[in-house]
Structure 1
């Protein structure tokens, strides 16, 4: 039986590229370039690369890029985009928890929740970080975005206080404050117009959790920032209004 994220991306490549949250590629790649000092010798791995929007743009700018994703449908679209752009990228089908690399890359990116934190258990999500860390060489860097637990924590509590006079259940609130997971139903159409109802399960993290997880993997320089679409910046402080956080980790 397919997981909800496997069902979603089984036949969604065309519509995915038209989503609002995929429109910030150029600015995001500008930031990634600045983080590697525009070093064209940098070898990059894009985990959960999807349709290859970051991978193709990086390759277009002269970088050596490998893309990994669980969805063959998304990878097919990525290969077509790379061919159209006239760039060579090694796209592989792989589970982000068990990437076939060891100390091979100068930079690993995981942007827009391409893999982490969609897994149904904390252990599985941690395996993705472990696998990414194994793929990076000792002087490498990890850049990823993830769901910001401060956002639903602040807003769900605030909305509860403002709309309830007693402790009755908030049936509209799908966020589990004990597990920091949002379990909800998503109604969507695939590329062929087939309607789907997916039982989604996403994990939100607070900065202290992310810091501890990365420190346990040996990273000693960890920066967590706000995450604005197409406007990644180290000078953007993370707040309760940021739906995502941007994480930069180095050894």
Structure 2
């Protein structure tokens, strides 16, 4: 089993990955995506690796038809409960993004938070992007938000401590491996006097590398931005935002 297929990982480290600041930014993320990608009010939106549906629910609140896909059933259960509580009609699907495809269905797709880098095999990586391409209608757009290789190099931090809301303490440390193609993470978890840790690695992409992969999957008109406000992807970039269009 790959590390990202283990539901216990996502449950244990949920608070660290989705801290209060990130959660509070969700409505603003959605507003900015709509503006930056020029999304029509009638668009069918695909949340690619939706997790517990934080962005999907915000899109639904704005009247969009939303489908969220993720492989973590625990997160999807949370997403469904939150959507039901807020009377939001969202389709949540448990599926592996290496397999999930709905030809010519969506007007807009988006992927947040590095999940594209989890796939090691180049053929599977290509299939993931090809699946998104096939699932979009002609003219549909795919927005990706990740920590680009360039911004990671500028802001690299070897280790950080976090206090969890459940009384835990979490340590995050990282190192660059394989010629700046991957980052190895060591995440430690301390609670009630017990210490556990997991070590895992994922790919990192430069703007050029990610653009090449998207073009190879069939996309064109590939644009790069340094944040969701549309700033240039340059030395002052905060994130790597890519918008690619299906022919």
> Which bin holds the TM-score, normalised by the shorter protein?
0.7 to 0.9
Deviation at 1:181, TM superposition (A): 0.5
The alignment partner of 2:45 has SS state of strand
Q: Deviations over 1:192-245 (max 9, x none)?
A: 998641212121111111111111122221111113xxxx122x1223454631
Aligned to 2:242: 247
Higher strand share: 2
Aligned to 2:91: 90
For the residues of structure 1 that align with 2:179 and 2:207, how far apart are their CA atoms?
Answer: 16
Deviation at 1:57, TM superposition (A): 0.5
Checking the alignment, whether the CA contact within 8 Å between 1:64 and 1:89 is kept in structure 2 is yes
Deviation at 1:101, TM superposition (A): 1.1
The alignment partner of 1:54 has SS state of helix
The answer for unaligned runs of 5 or more in structure 1 is 160-171
Aligned CA distance change for structure 1 residues 16 and 201 (closer, same or farther; 3 Å): closer
Checking the alignment, whether the CA contact within 8 Å between 1:4 and 1:198 is kept in structure 2 is no
* Between 137-146 and 125-134, the greater mean CA deviation after superposition: 125-134
Aligned to 1:212: 212
* TM score, norm. by length of structure 1: 0.80
The CA RMSD over aligned residues, in Å, is 2.9
Deviation at 1:123, TM superposition (A): 3.7
Aligned to 2:168: none
* Between 15-24 and 181-190, the greater mean CA deviation after superposition: 15-24
Deviation at 1:151, TM superposition (A): 2.9
Aligned CA distance change for structure 1 residues 193 and 72 (closer, same or farther; 3 Å): farther
Structure possessing the higher relative contact order (Cα contacts under 8 Å, 6 or more residues apart): 1
Aligned to 1:120: 120
For the residues of structure 2 that align with 1:18 and 1:204, how far apart are their CA atoms?
Answer: 22
Which aligned pairs between 1:1-251 and structure 2 lie closer than 5 A? 1-4=1-4, 6=6, 7-10=8-11, 17-35=18-36, 37=38, 39-113=40-114, 115-153=115-153, 174-176=175-177, 178-188=179-189, 196-227=196-227, 232-234=228-230, 236-240=231-235, 242=237, 244-251=239-246
Checking the alignment, whether the CA contact within 8 Å between 1:69 and 1:92 is kept in structure 2 is yes
* TM score, norm. by length of structure 2: 0.81
The alignment partner of 2:118 has SS state of coil
The alignment partner of 1:239 has SS state of coil
